[in-house]
Structure 1
Amino acid sequence: MQPYFFPYIGYFQLVADVDRFVFYDDVNFIKNGWINRNRVLADDGNRYVTVPLSGASPSLKIRDIQIQPRDIWLRKMLESIRHAYAKAPHYAAVSQLIEQCLSAPVAQISTLASQTVVDVCKYLDIATEFVASSTQFGNSELKGVNRVLDICAKERARIYVNLPGGRDLYDDKTFRSNGVELAFVEPNLSAYPQFDHAFQPGLSILDVLMFNSKDRVREMLSVGSGS
């Protein structure tokens, strides 16, 4: 998966369901995606929190795109999150996690986005191993399913797990002929209390963490895995 910024719960279900997770950081950047932004709760529904980028372009790889200096955006983002969640039951602990993630001295959005995933997993005691595609496999010339299968071969993987969007991209027979089982995780978008708001599904994992204990979140991550 591409490294996403504090992604939604389905992304973390995928992470929790596997032994080793590959950040696809050497593929082309997609504008208006989830690499540098996500959604949090707002009085009128939800709103985006966004990490501003420098020179972002679909012609560049994710790993080559820089974030703008933190003094431009960090305080505003933290204030937006505080405004949304200051009265949430787990705000104190989760706000510390957020500041830890966003204050780390990294310059590339791929590193920052990846770190948000890794740090949330540490917070939840998820022991999945992480690797970046740009540093491990040396196969960036391959495309689509051919690259996925090459990574599976190099990892000696028996099962490749993806989110439902992969159903339109990958064919079970192709994977089986290469000795790999293809499986999918079904995102758990079950409702939970969000103050007195009508439930807003699919927000950033931050929303889930603000309103649910660690144990409850781990239970939520186990629903719909590996089917």
Structure 2
Amino acid sequence: MRLAIMQPYLFPYLGYYQLLAAVDRFVIYDDVQFMLQGWINRNYILVNGKPLLFTLPLEATSANKSIRDTTVNPKLFPTWATKFTRTLQQNYSKAPYLAPVLEMVDTVLASASGQSIADVSTESIRQVHRYLGLQSQIVPTSTGYQNTHLSGPTRVLDICRQEGADHYINPINGRSLYDEAAFAQEGIKLNFLQMEPVPYKQLKGEFVPSLSILDVLMFNAPAAVHELLQAYTLA
């Protein structure tokens, strides 16, 4: 059984979904420390041909709090949500799949105010997962591996054992964190996913890579996205 473990990101980039599609079970790491300046509550969309960072407002962010214990700011959220959806409507007005993507965004944001960012970001992942018809199972860690006393690769290995995984896949940027011999000792194959360049037609101008999955979905039908999801190598 192929397994991956990732923190919940808000409408993450294509490579995140490549990893999600490459495994049988995908564990959302939502009870670990919140990463300041990370991708848990923000990402990029395309505005006037350039990447624009959007950031969902949170209450009292701190690296000492878990992702699950970090909440969406209920005072700032309504104004932000209105502005964000308006920005999407204006800048992607000519995108062929604007309507279903906006519907997805509205579904995610409908009950986000005051909620845990873990729940909101996980819901953004689930909505895209459903839209694309992916078959992998999404599992939040907060439902209980009972191993929060562990950390780093030791905890990852314990989750692999509990899930009965025989193949663990991680993004390539985490390669230095994991020891292949330690996984092999547990009978677990270790691989790292490297995303390949996947340009697709945007509105005009030079292609802008590494944006939120929202940009990918605006310009590509689900069948075309499935092809993009295969554009990776395992090292």
TM-score by length of 2: 0.93
For 1:140 and 1:18, locate their aligned partners in 2 and report how far apart those are by CA, in whole Å: 23
CA distance in 2, matches of 1:48, 1:202: 12
Could you give the per-residue CA deviations for residues 131-153 of structure 1, whole angstroms, max 9, x where no partner exists?
A: 11121201011011100000000
Given the alignment of the two structures, is residue 99 of structure 1 paired with residue 110 of structure 2, yes or no?
Answer: no
Q: Which residue is equivalent to 1:113?
A: 121
C-alpha distance in 1 between matches for 2:12 and 2:213: 6
1:30 Cα deviation after fit: 1.0
Which sections of structure 1, spanning at least 5 residues, go unmatched?
Answer: none
What secondary structure does 2:139 align onto?
A: strand
For residue 120 of structure 1, report the CA deviation from its aligned partner. 0.2
Q: TM-score, normalised by structure 1?
A: 0.96
Q: CA deviation at 1:52?
A: 0.0
| 1:3 partnered with 2:8 | yes
Match of 1:29 in 2: 34
Aligned positions, number:
227
C-alpha contact 2:49 2:204 (8 A) present in aligned 1 = no
- Matched residue, 2:217: 209
Letter in 1 for 2:102: S
Residues of 2 paired with 1:114 and 1:225: CA distance? 25
Cα distance, 1:85 vs structure 2: 0.8
2:93 to 86, 95, 100: 86
Query: Is 1:190 aligned with 2:192?
Result: no
- Which secondary structure state, in structure 1, belongs to the residue aligned with residue 68 of structure 2? helix
String of CA shifts for 1:127-179, please: whole Å, max 9, x gaps: 21111112120101101110000000000000001110121111211110111
| Offset of residue 225 of structure 1 | 5.2
Please list, as runs of the form range in 1=range in 2, the aligned pairs for 1:34-183 lying within 5 A after superposition: 34-69=39-74, 70-104=77-111, 107-183=115-191
Q: Which runs of 5+ in 2 are unaligned?
A: 1-5
What SS does structure 1 have at the residue aligned with 2:153?
helix
Question: Equivalent pairs: percent with the same residue?
Answer: 41
Structure 1 residue ranges (4+ consecutive) displaced by more than 6 angstroms after TM superposition: none
Contact 2:197 2:231 in 1 (8 A): no
Contact 2:196 2:233 (8 Å CA) reproduced: no
Aligned Cα root-mean-square deviation (Å): 1.3
User: Quick check: 150-159 or 178-187, which moved more?
Assistant: 178-187
- More displaced 10-residue stretch of structure 1: 70-79 or 5-14: 70-79
